[in-house]
Amino acid sequence: MADGRRDPPPYGRDRVRGSIGSHSPYEGGGGGVGRGRGGPPPMRGGYPPQGATYHTQERRPAWRNPSPGPSDGSPLPSTSAAVSTPAFSTNVHEPPPQPAVAIAPAAAGGSGATALIRQHRPSGRGRRPLADTLRTRGPDAPSKHGTTGQPLLLQSNYFKLLKRVDWTLYHYQVEFVPACPSPRLTQSLVNEHKKLLGGFVFDGVQLFTACKLSSDELVLHSQHDRTGDKYELHIQRVAVVDMTDETGLQVLNLILRRAMNGLNLQLVGRNLYDAAAKIPIREYHIELWPGYMTSIRQHENDVLVCCEIAHKTMRMQTCYDILRECQRHDRNFKDAFRRAVLGCVVLTGYNNKTYTIHDVTFETTPEGTFDTKNGKISFMEYYKNKYNLRIRDAYQPMLLSRAKKKDTRSGDSELMALVPELCQMTGLTDSMRSDFKMMRAMADHTRLNPDRRIERLETFNRRLQTSPESQEVLKVWQMELDRRLVELPGRLLPQEMIFFSTTSNGVQAGENADWTAHFCDNPMFATVRLSRWYLVVPGRCQREAGDFLNCMITAARGMRFEISNCEMVPMPDDNQSTYIRTLDAIINKDPQMIMCVVSNNKSDRYTAIKKRCCVDRAIPTQIMVQKTITPKSGNVRTLMSVATKVVIQMNCKLGGVPWMVKIPLNGLMTIGFDVCHDSKDKSKSFGAMVATLDHDNRGTPKFFSTVSHHSNEEEISNYLPLNTVKALNEYRREFGELPKRIIFYRDGVSDGQLQYIYDHEVRSLVEKLGQIYKSAGIEQEVLLTFFIVNKRINTRFFDHRLNPRPGTVVDNVVTLPQRTDFYLVSQSVKQGTVSPTAHNVIYDTSGLKIDHLQMLSYKQCHLYYNWSGTTRVPAVCQYAHKLSFLVGQYLHQSPSNMLEKKLYFL
């Protein structure tokens, strides 16, 4: 969480160093677990349903609710009305359909009882058109390849497609008469004509063939092998596909996925995993399934295949095991079971599919029946006949799972009825994540060092090219992969100098970009005297709090930070109400800061303290957990490291600055923006913007932050220009003029949202800035650079089978020709493979060279004051995430405006 509350301990250096989701023994470890993602939906349109509805040949198990609502009396989540179609599926045999039900309210004017309505997918399923790739780089743009730094020769987790894809792909539309009831059946009907079609990819409606068919319009005849029903396949030519465009590349991805079927991998969610190579960690009752994430894309000069190692955590227990535990330990086991499984993702082994549990019904059991074409059948008989599975407990409740978004958008509004006995739990619980030993045991297998990662990648390539089934697919489609990892040029930027005062010469950040040790000999860059502050502590923690306070004063003295003895306020207990009453009494005395010692990580107490001091009032707070301030083996000196970090953090919350790096630009305003969902209401989210105001590169920077609340349906652009204007006004109040240059780092954006961000946020921001500057008498174009920062990428780099050093930049080979983009490795990790961050410049009128933009981004990674080292993203992005996470997870409302000029959220 934050402050001194100890979150699940770190098991990777990059998690500690300010990366998203890192944990720290003090407030400022990067935010905690479960980062929400906000932002507008991708701008991809969809086709409305076409054709008549159909009836299935065999009714799937339907659950008839005996009561007028869900089992807990609350309505299930409503299905989406949006329409779309599934992604491509290849001509591979699919598992039989699963038990499903559909629930809809009774017609208006009825009794209000729940009615059962089965909605079927329309026969004319059209695939969503692919969004055009956002091209932000013009043909006459200056070079995107920098020259500053030491040249490097690196490897990356990409394989080159050796043979250029010069074959032509023909696109046909397929219509079934009568309408075909299921995707699996459509595949089967098309597969009957393999010899005629040759190599093909079929998605249920659209057919792509490597050979041109004999006629632009064909009618083929197929027959259902089980029922004998006859179908006509009306095939009509649509177009010729360019293999360099988005559709062609998607087909290449599908061909690669089909080739990977020869490796006997299992599809779980979106990725393929090797269940045969699972790694059991028996002492914690979990298994790790190794797998692969692959994608094909046109890069600078070649079509490259990106391959990344993935792991799926499977728990060695079923939902039925959890039910039995609840029955043994909880008097109200029904509610306990619901709490344990609602929202969890389960895997059904009979079809290797994953489902999210949305509800539990105790009124229906596996002995319940449902209607089929041949009459009623029970769930137990269905699973016995279909999968040869015997359900042992006939009286267990049933789990309900709402159909996934892609299915509901396709017209399917069904609920899946699942048997707990057949559902294996996946993922980790919060208690598991807080188990340091367990996370360490997992990290030994999941955090692969570069040499092990390279070995696994080469093994994958070798298996793909030696498996007979995979070879056949690649041979049919004339595809050949290079057996070696892609080599590419990189550069190592110079080490940054860290300045602790305006008069010092500074110290080098070091090869690992960590300058923690230098705090012993240097003051902080700018400090604020702390004279009025209070320490709130439960009576039983007074001794530990007193010892830690002495350590803080000693550490502050060494950094020239003046701290007066605070007033300690003991409390009789650590109840939430006691803290609130004590805080109310202290706040009336107008303190500069309040430190609270808490006995454990109880979230409701933490929320109450933060709400009182950040929303109701405007007092910076520091929260410390008793365990964090308790010395190891009774040696108080072991607390000095934590005390030093807490003192730095408190100085920042008061408005101080611990260190600086040299940024040779005057009149600069740097902005970071991020979004976090509200943990209580997922339809709401909070966008946080944090700006650093630098008027003179030798002076002390100022800060400004603001939070906007919006629902998922609202465009973030409504708030982005407005909040930027607030920051501009603050800059003008501080320095008497507008900034000469604005650098904007936007986090939390996927590739599918780039066009939306550009059309709505960037354009409206540029228009608003133009108005502000014109009203100030500045006629020239605003010098604005807008970055999209992306951490969630699969690209990795290797330097002679080792991790690249901090400051490594890659802007060629694996970058994209239509963008001005680059990868930056800004951190050093001791375990696993370091993750680079992708920077994409989608708007730039600054006139700066690419070298300057790369170096400026790297400098920004040195300025996150919760860690005396570099972060994965520029500091303003990390600040924005920290603030949005605090508001979305705990405050659930915007903080007081009186805190806008301080980093109170660290």
Q: Tokens 């609710």: give the residue.
A: 65
Tell me, what amino acid is at 478? Q
* Nearest one of 583, 726, 568, 558 to 651, comparing CA atoms: 558
Give residue 81's pLDDT.
Answer: 31
- For residues 650 and 688, state if they share a domain: no
- Residue 726: count other Cβ atoms within 10 Å of its Cβ: 17
The model's confidence at residue 181, banded by pLDDT at 50, 70 and 90, is: low
Residue 731 lies in a domain: yes
Q: Is the pLDDT assigned to residue 50 strictly greater than 90?
A: no
pLDDT tens profile 236-281: 999 888 776 778 888 888 889 889 988 988 888 778 899 889 999 9
pLDDT tens profile 442-478: 999 999 999 999 999 999 999 999 999 999 888 888 8
**Dihedral sign for Cα atoms in the order 447, 450, 455, 456:** positive
pLDDT tens profile 504-542: 788 999 999 999 888 877 899 999 999 999 999 998 889
Number of domains in the chain: 4
What is the DSSP secondary-structure string of 808-837?
EEE-SSSS-TTSEEEEEE----SSS-PPPE
Task: Please check whether residue 190 is in contact with residue 197, taking contact to mean a CB–CB distance below 8 angstroms.
Answer: yes
The model's confidence at residue 798, banded by pLDDT at 50, 70 and 90, is: very high
- For residues 650 and 542, state if they share a domain: yes
Distance of alpha carbon 151 from alpha carbon 517, whole angstroms: 29
- For residues 771 and 723, state if they share a domain: yes
Phi/psi zone of residue 676: left (φ > 0), alpha (ψ -120 to 50 degrees), beta?
beta
Task: Please check whether residue 413 is in contact with residue 104, taking contact to mean a CB–CB distance below 8 angstroms.
Answer: yes
Q: Which helix (H) or strand (E) holds 550?
A: helix 542-558
- For residues 691 and 727, state if they share a domain: yes
Domain hosting residue 209, numbered range = 168-241
Give residue 402's pLDDT.
Answer: 85
- For residues 755 and 880, state if they share a domain: yes
Residue 145 lies in a domain: no
- For residues 756 and 880, state if they share a domain: yes
- Residue 349: count other Cβ atoms within 10 Å of its Cβ: 14
CATH classification at residue 749: 3.30.420.10
Give residue 891's pLDDT.
Answer: 94
Give residue 110's pLDDT.
Answer: 31
The model's confidence at residue 418, banded by pLDDT at 50, 70 and 90, is: very high
- For residues 645 and 689, state if they share a domain: no
Residue 286 lies in a domain: no
Q: State which of 413, 430, 447 marks the end of a domain.
A: 430
Residue 496 lies in a domain: no
Task: Please check whether residue 347 is in contact with residue 49, taking contact to mean a CB–CB distance below 8 angstroms.
Answer: no
Q: Is the pLDDT assigned to residue 97 strictly greater than 50?
A: no
Angle among Cα 667, 671, 674 to the nearest 5 degrees reads 180
Distance of alpha carbon 326 from alpha carbon 324, whole angstroms: 5
Residue 815 lies in a domain: no
Cα 703 to Cα 529, 706, 880, distances in angstroms: 18, 10, 12
Among 7, 747, 799, 811, the active-site one is 747
CATH classification at residue 178: 3.30.70
Give residue 406's pLDDT.
Answer: 54
* Nearest one of 359, 341, 361, 282 to 314, comparing CA atoms: 282
Strand partners, 361: 398
Residue 723 lies in a domain: yes
Q: State which of 409, 430, 451 marks the end of a domain.
A: 430
CATH classification at residue 370: 2.170.260.10
Residue 758 lies in a domain: yes
The model's confidence at residue 714, banded by pLDDT at 50, 70 and 90, is: low
CATH classification at residue 608: 3.40.50.2300
Give residue 484's pLDDT.
Answer: 95
Q: In the annotation, is 225 catalytic?
A: no
Residues written for the chain: 906
The runs of H, that is alpha helices, within 261-399 are: 319-329, 333-341, 379-387
Cα 14 to Cα 153, 534, 667, 828, 855, distances in angstroms: 23, 34, 32, 7, 21
Distance of alpha carbon 511 from alpha carbon 380, whole angstroms: 63
Give residue 118's pLDDT.
Answer: 28
Distance of alpha carbon 795 from alpha carbon 490, whole angstroms: 14
Packed helices 468-476 and 246-260: angle between N→C axes, nearest 10 degrees: 160
- For residues 592 and 717, state if they share a domain: no
pLDDT, averaged across the chain = 82
Among 359, 674, 799, 851, the active-site one is 674
Q: State which of 619, 654, 689 marks the end of a domain.
A: 654
Distance of alpha carbon 666 from alpha carbon 693, whole angstroms: 10
- For residues 673 and 626, state if they share a domain: no
Q: In the annotation, is 321 catalytic?
A: no
pTM confidence score: 0.81
Residue 549 lies in a domain: yes
- For residues 745 and 871, state if they share a domain: yes
* Nearest one of 21, 28, 32 to 651, comparing CA atoms: 28
- For residues 597 and 630, state if they share a domain: yes
Tabulate helix, strand, coil % of the chain (nearest 5): 30, 25, 45
Assign 3-class secondary structure to 691-749.
EEEECCCCCCCEEEEEEEEEECCCCHHHCHHHHHHHHHHHHHHHHCCCCCEEEEEECCC
Q: Which two tokens stand for residue 708?
A: 């906007």
- For residues 628 and 668, state if they share a domain: no
Q: Which two tokens stand for residue 552?
A: 């803080």
Q: Tokens 């990059």: give the residue.
A: 14
